[in-house]
Structure 1
Amino acid sequence: MPMPDSELMQLAIDAASNARTLTAPNPWVGCAIRSADGSTYVGATEPPGQAHAEIVALNAAGSQAAGAVLATTLEPCAHTGRTGPCTEAIIEAGVRRVIIGIEDPDVNVAGAGIAQLRAAGIDVGVGVKADEITAQLASYLHHRRTGRPYVILKLAATVDGRTAAPDGESEWITGVAARTDVHQMRAESQAILVGAGTVRADDPSLTVRLVDGPDPRRIVLGAAPTNAKVHPCTEWVGPLPELLDELGADGVLQLMVEGGANVASEFHDAGLVDRYVIYLAPAIFGGNDAHPLFVGAGTPTMAELRRGRFLSTAMLGGDLRLDISLD
């Protein structure tokens, strides 16, 4: 019995996940091919300048690609950039049917890949596991639609919303599993940002250490001490929207904001946060003298309260991760 389209696409999604930290500013795409005899071949996008997922899978399939079904998480490119058009390779390989998760909003693609494949007589279906792939490519899609990086505000707190003891000590509110997850998010982000106050107080390095992956570009709001571990870094003084425009133009797809409370409030108050990732530890300070998640004036009335939705929840060791969007 042939493998269902959804299962073939799941192979492509899994392959894309493995390429998550390697491809920026290109999207992390997965591709899976099912040949006429039922064999499967999988590929994922390689680092910039190297092969796209479709080419990797086609190379793996070889002559078996003729008459095969190809599933790809994102619409194949139809233009020449650092590499040639994937659509031409698919057509030349003799693929019979193409299953596409979602269309690519990039102006160089935007439906052209689908149109080329159909013009060549290939049966093309779009939308298999679209919701899952849209979530997987959220930062890429946001960048291509807005020109700015997808902003994740990461916060760690006790269940009563406190980030540090009254004396300022915050190591460690959460456990090893949650901190490892944070490092994975760093590896998936092309830039990470903190305020100069956090640099002076904690002297963080903001590197990836608990997982394998690249270190993000480091941004400090204000001036970092010359001997701070965060160097080399970009020191920024100016409007946050201008910073996002500059980072987006430099190919930063995802910006991770780590704090502190003043910086968190600046991004929140300006409506610049695309996702809030909050790690809650099963601990309670009590009272009101420990450090809060945000500072300054908040929403003044219930009628003006910004509401959103939980995107996901996960247990990490003894801690709880909450992913929230206020869009």
Structure 2
Amino acid sequence: MADRAEDDRFMAEALTVAHRNRGATGSNPSVGCVIVRDDGDGPHIVGSAVTAVGGRPHAETQALALAGDAARGATAYVTLEPCSHHGKTPPCADALVAAGVARVVIAVTDPDERVSGRGLDILRDAGIVVDTGVLEEKGERELEGYLMRKRNNRPYVTLKLAVSADGMIGIKGQGQIRITGTAARDYVQRLRAETDAILVGIGTAIADNPELTCRIPGLEARSPLRVVIDGELDMPTTSKLAQTARLVPVIAVSGREDGSDAYAARRQALQDLGVEVVLCNPIEPADLLGALATRGVSSLLIEGGARTAQQFLNAGLVDRILLFTGPATLGEEGVPSPLDRHLIPVGFTHRQTTTLGDDLLDTYEYERIP
């Protein structure tokens, strides 16, 4: 009979492993797999792996390769149901069968219609014991982006706002203003490294001239896709975003082409720098999220602009709010935030408050009915 405490312990390890490549596996989810063997001297890990950067190879095949012959008769802990379809790589369910594992423990079943339940059937038909739902809630949280994209055809959306003590996000005409300290900014940099795409409005792109990359040493390659809502294609060609578009992809989301020579010239100038122009209703967040989902974007971080934040909040398309509050006040010339700690939209539940140096981070999550 399975030991639930033991299952929880090794699934927790698999989830920790899965987190390592979150945001770096393309359209594939970052899955963790741990192979555990017990020859009478207690269970011990003989193979452990996470989905590779870019999405392949998958976690299971890598962990099995590390385990080698020790995988035969062992237990595999996998954070997501092993795939059962032939894509660019053979099915992981078949690999587990071929390796001779005796048992597979799974946190979350895969909602992908190509897999959903089929991976479990392959394993069970081969005589492998299968247990599902172990640390399922934690697994759903770790896989929240992938699951949102598969179930709702859109990315999981996180809204990040830095607000002064008097409820401002900036000062009129002064561009980017530092509201939070080093610890909070480091937190955001790590968040960028774990996110598929980051979004700002054109007002923020012009006023702040941000680069929106990950600046943690060693994680520069984990910078997310950068998306700018830019209806008229007003992004300056001299901006940091445009100038770095060939290094880290940039999408400018515009509406229908207006047919003017000026619009065509702006579009061509941006494209010459490597900016991709996507025609999509820029004031309809649902349309934009759907377009991003078709590109395999599972998680989206909204970082800039009161108007952009309000659009997504009004549309009911924000899943998590990260509200950073700094100790300073900005005064009457400040730009009001669409929300603060005392004015959170209905439907959001406060999850926790974290202290980051002199700043506070409040996390809120929207309670959606399954």
Specify if TM > 0.5. yes
User: What amino acid is aligned across from residue 353 of structure 2 in structure 1?
Assistant: T
Is 2:35 the counterpart of 1:30? no
The one-letter amino acid paired with 1:221 is I
Structure 2 residue runs without a partner (length 5+): 255-280
Partner SS state of residue 134, structure 2: coil
| Residue of structure 2 equivalent to 1:322 | 362
| 1:138-153 paired onto structure 2 within 5 Å | 138-153=144-159
Of stretches 35-44 and 252-261 in structure 1, the one that deviates more from structure 2 is 35-44
Cα distance in 2 for residues equivalent to 1:76 and 1:218: 31
Cα gap change, 1:96 to 1:4, in 2 (>3 Å)? same
Following TM superposition, by how much is the alpha carbon of 1:39 offset from its aligned partner in structure 2, in angstroms?
3.0
Shift of 1:179: 0.8
Q: Is the 8 A contact 1:149 1:253 kept in 2?
A: yes
**Contact 1:66-1:93 within 8 A present in 2 as well:** yes
Aligned pair partner of 1:235 in 245, 252, 258:
252
Give the secondary-structure state (helix, strand or coil) at the position aligned to 1:101: strand
Among 192, 198, 210, which residue is 1:192 paired with?
Answer: 198
Letter in 1 for 2:351: L
Q: 1:168 touches 1:291 (CA, 8 Å); kept in 2?
A: no
Picking from 32, 50, 53, the partner of 1:47 is 53
Are the equivalent residues in 2 in contact too, given 1:95–1:122 (CA < 8 A)? yes
Where does 1:71-82 land on structure 2 (aligned, <5 Å)? 71-82=77-88
Residue identity in the other structure for 1:179: R
Contact 1:49 1:83 in 2 (8 A): no
State how far apart, in whole Å, the 2-side matches of 1:88 and 1:65 are: 14
Q: Secondary structure at the match of 2:240?
A: coil
Distance of 1:201 and 1:280 partners within structure 2: 21
Counterpart of 1:14?
Answer: 16
Deviation, structure 1 residue 289 = 4.4
| Whole-angstrom CA distance in 2 between matches of 1:166 and 1:199 | 14
Q: CA deviation at 1:204?
A: 0.7
Contact 2:76 2:104 in 1 (8 A): yes
Change (3 A) 1:326 1:289: farther
Q: Quote the Cα distance in structure 1 between the aligned partners of 2:33 and 2:154.
A: 27
CA displacement at 1:115 relative to structure 2 = 1.6
User: Which sections of structure 1, spanning at least 5 residues, go unmatched?
Assistant: 296-301
1:106-121, aligned counterparts within 5 Å? 106-121=112-127
- Out of 287, 293, 307, the position equivalent to 2:337 is 293
Counterpart of 1:226 in structure 2 is 237
Aligned residues: 318
What's the counterpart of residue 155 of structure 1? 161
Q: 2:101 & 2:140 partners in 1: Cα distance? A: 25
Deviation for aligned residue 1:36: 2.8
Distance 2:305 2:57 in 1: 40
CA displacement 1:220-244 (0-9 Å, x = unmatched): 1123112111113322232322211
Say whether the 8 Å CA contact 1:190–1:252 is kept in structure 2: yes
Aligned partner letter, 1:291: V
Distance 2:69 2:345 in 1: 59
> Is the Cα contact below 8 Å between 1:193 and 1:255 reproduced in 2?
yes
Aligned to 1:275: 320
Any conservation in 2 of the 1:15–1:44 contact (CA below 8 Å)?
yes
* C-alpha deviation, 1:102, in angstroms: 0.8
Q: Deviations over 1:164-218 (max 9, x none)?
A: 2456455311111111111122222222111111122111111111351422222
Measured after TM superposition, the shift of residue 34 of structure 1 is: 1.0
Contact 2:176 2:207 in 1 (8 A): no
Question: Which residue of 1 is the match for residue 103 of structure 2?
Answer: 97
User: Quick check: 1:255 aligned with 2:290?
Assistant: no
Cα distance between partner residues in 1 of 2:348 and 2:285: 23
Is the Cα contact below 8 Å between 2:169 and 2:337 reproduced in 1?
yes
Greater CA deviation, 100-109 or 238-247? 238-247
Q: Is the 8 A contact 2:175 2:207 kept in 1?
A: no
Q: Please give the alpha-carbon distance, in whole angstroms, between the structure 2 residues aligned to 1:311 and 1:31.
A: 28
Distance 1:21 1:241, change over 3 A: closer
In 1: Cα distance, 2:122 partner to 2:214 partner: 41
Moved runs in structure 1, 4+ residues, more than 4 A? none
Identity %: 40
Q: Structure 2 vs 1, CA of residues 49 and 21 (structure 1 numbering), >3 Å: closer, same or farther?
A: closer
Secondary structure in 2 matching 1:230: helix
Structure-2 separation of matches of 1:101 and 1:54:
14
CA RMSD of aligned residues (A): 2.1
Relative distance call for 1:147 and 1:61 in structure 2 (3 A) is same
SS in 1 for 2:179: coil
Bigger Cα displacement from structure 2, 137-146 vs 210-219: 210-219
Contact 2:83 2:92 (8 Å CA) reproduced: yes
Q: TM-score, normalised by structure 2?
A: 0.80
- TM-score with structure 1 setting the length: 0.91
Amino acid at match of 2:239: A
Does structure 1 retain, via aligned residues, the 8 Å contact 2:26–2:55? Answer: no
